[in-house]
Structure 1
Amino acid sequence: MADMMGTGRGARTRRARTVAAVLAATGLFGLFTAGCTGQGTPRVPADDGRGELHTSPPSASEPGRKPDRPSVLAVKIDNVRAARPQTGIDSADIVYAEQVEGGLSRLMAVFATKLPKAVGPVRSARESDLELLRQFDKPTLAFSGAQGKLMPLINGAPLDAQTPKKTSDAYFRGTDKVSPHNLYLRPKRLMPTTPGAAALTTGFRYGPAPAGGTKDTSETVRYPAARFTFTWSATRERWLVSMDGKPDTTTDGKRLAPATVVVQYVQVRKSAFHDFLGNNTPYTVTIGSGSAKVLRDGRAYDVNWKRAKATEGTEFTTKDGEPVNFAKGQVWVVFAKASS
């Protein structure tokens, strides 16, 4: 809306009517009005590019939702080489990895059972985040900002959007890296109490490993300009994470080591947004069904995944339709492009 011209009451009225008409035509009016507070959309500094308004975000409300249920803290994490090592993501219950502009990767760390003192580096949100986060009951999303035309969708979504512009005392700049790779979050400034495991409405199941599978000690997932490698450590009973060929550790020297890794094959299509170089922002589709590979206990399991709608978690089943249990501990979900 910032690029619309005009001043005074008449211009403001014309702008409001124009926005309402666009939102009504695209089915967004209910989503936008549900998220507005009467003060308009905050003008958050963007840290990447410009794009067009997406016309099919998730709806603002669904029957059967429980808004009073404790919900998670999701933090967008910078994952380029200059941002590593990262802070606090070893405390996350779930780490999602997705492809972004230029074939690079970005993480979303989801916290429910433990809140570290600091998390980061924090970076900007993407359109796909809104679909992914609908599985939680009004989650708190911590991010550095987003381009101007995406912000109305974020502010209208059923989540608590928290940026440095909105809650400055929750963020700080570190001295270990150069900007913009040095923005960190103090999670307890946003969420004084730990939500607890009940907030993890992902559909994930935990328990004994399924039958079958094949022995597997290393798996690599490649994006056009990034790669993840997970190597099984029998002594630690965890998958050790490497990124772009180097062991991945936190700033305090801890090796990132999830108990379960899911390589989920999904549709990755173009979105309506671009970065400042003109690169299109990929949209990772997490609703639907497809195949996946679950890594746990030094074995790999070829499974199916299904997420019927945005407000539901993802089910993972064997080829025979039996639910697949994950190992207890941190889970990494790496979204990989499905073959056509």
Structure 2
Amino acid sequence: MKKRNILAVFGLAMILGLTACGGKKETAESETETTVQITRAETETTSEEREPLPEGQMYSYLTGEPVDETIGMQRPFAIMINNIQDAIPQSGISQAEIVYECLVESNITRLLCEFQDIENLDKVGSIRSARHYYMDLAQDDEAVFTHFGQSIFAEERINAGYPTISGLSGYGGNVFYRTSDRVAPHNVYSSKDGLLAGLEATGMTRDYPEGYEGRFNFYAKDTVPAEGEAAEIVRMPFSYGQPWFEYNEEDGLYYRYQYGEAHIDAENNEQLKFKNLIIQYAARSVISDQDHQDYALIGSGEGLIITNGKATKITWKRETESDRTKYYYEDGTPAYLNAGKSYISVVPSETPVTCEAK
């Protein structure tokens, strides 16, 4: 298979003194590593070669890990999570199979947490209002979009028929509740029972469409990518919370930090951690006087898959609104993830993610 060259990316990385993910360090060490690397086809086993599972189990569409079919055949809930400093630590989010992060107004971010297994989801939040591009992300995974409030742009899509579980609906009191330990609007939560009540009230189903196939490809075995740049510390270009990830070689996971400290789930005191980080660069524009953002998520663009200490350049493609985003290597072949939880971020094209070795 033809090898791909990893091009250097500068900009913000020059200012910070780091290498932008996707760049190549010109060192004797990296040249030595290149000479002993062999191609992806020779080193990486794919999802088609995974071991068959016992009856009643399947490989999760979201994580590639074995799960009971009673869980794996259910559409996830995609919940808008507050990520402003007044709202942390959040509750329940360490249980999410996928976490999305994007900028919203005033340089803050919000999370969209997708939960397929909600059996132990006793408290999740705090929950905030929808932004229209998060609805595209939820649609990528056929998720049940759940929110408390919405921007005018998200409201346009809801009024046009996009189904959601909404806190501003007549049934909202059965789904969401407020706590007394925080001030509004940072005190809205839900739970397994609340989410199921919302599902019943809206008449939506958690059944996947007939013939549904997951959009991710997974390696059959844990794999270190044959090509890519060192990515043991990954810094996101979000100035308010300044999130970053640190790779732990012992368990092969990326641990998340923000606001200068570990990003913790208040319900179990666990730090958020992921097997894969997916970066999707997209053109950004401001579409209101209130600094509402928009991202060009239909079409194609560049990105990164970061796993097992390496960052590999990819492209993403989504041809129409009804399509789903797919990821490809630079040579056009489908990209692969390692089995496990994933963090996915839509990042403005002009602000590259930066990586470094420890």
- Residue 122 of structure 2 is matched in structure 1 by 117
Q: Does 1:205 align with 2:217?
A: yes
Q: How far did residue 225 of structure 1 move?
A: 2.7
Answer whether contact 1:203 1:312 (CA < 8 A) is retained: no
Residues 1-340 of structure 1: pairs in structure 2 closer than 5 A: 70-115=74-119, 116-137=121-142, 139-147=143-151, 150-165=154-169, 166-191=171-196, 195=206, 203-207=215-219, 208=221, 209=223, 210-251=225-266, 252-271=268-287, 273=288, 278-339=289-350
Q: How far did residue 197 of structure 1 move?
A: 9.0
Q: How far did residue 181 of structure 1 move?
A: 1.0
| C-alpha distance in structure 1 between counterparts of 2:348 and 2:214, whole Å | 21
Answer whether contact 1:293 1:303 (CA < 8 A) is retained: yes
Q: Give the letter aligned to residue 213 of structure 1.
A: G
Answer whether contact 1:113 1:196 (CA < 8 A) is retained: no
| C-alpha distance in structure 1 between counterparts of 2:341 and 2:157, whole Å | 30
Deviations 1:176-220 (A, max 9, x none): 322211110113332379958999966122215442122321010
Alpha-carbon distance change, 311 to 93 in structure 1, aligned in 2, over 3 angstroms:
farther
Q: For the aligned residues, what is the CA RMSD?
A: 2.7
| C-alpha distance in structure 1 between counterparts of 2:161 and 2:348, whole Å | 26
| C-alpha distance in structure 2 between counterparts of 1:130 and 1:157, whole Å | 12
Deviates more, 1:299-308 or 1:206-215: 206-215
| C-alpha distance in structure 2 between counterparts of 1:231 and 1:198, whole Å | 37
Alpha-carbon distance change, 197 to 113 in structure 1, aligned in 2, over 3 angstroms:
farther
Q: How far did residue 147 of structure 1 move?
A: 4.3
Alpha-carbon distance change, 317 to 152 in structure 1, aligned in 2, over 3 angstroms:
closer
| C-alpha distance in structure 1 between counterparts of 2:153 and 2:350, whole Å | 31
SS class of match (2:126):
coil
Deviations 1:269-304 (A, max 9, x none): 123x4xxxx432011222221111111112211111
Deviations 1:312-331 (A, max 9, x none): 22221212222221121211
Answer whether contact 1:128 1:283 (CA < 8 A) is retained: yes
| C-alpha distance in structure 1 between counterparts of 2:338 and 2:191, whole Å | 29
Q: Give the letter aligned to residue 271 of structure 2.
A: R
- Residue 26 of structure 2 is matched in structure 1 by none
Identical-pair percentage: 22
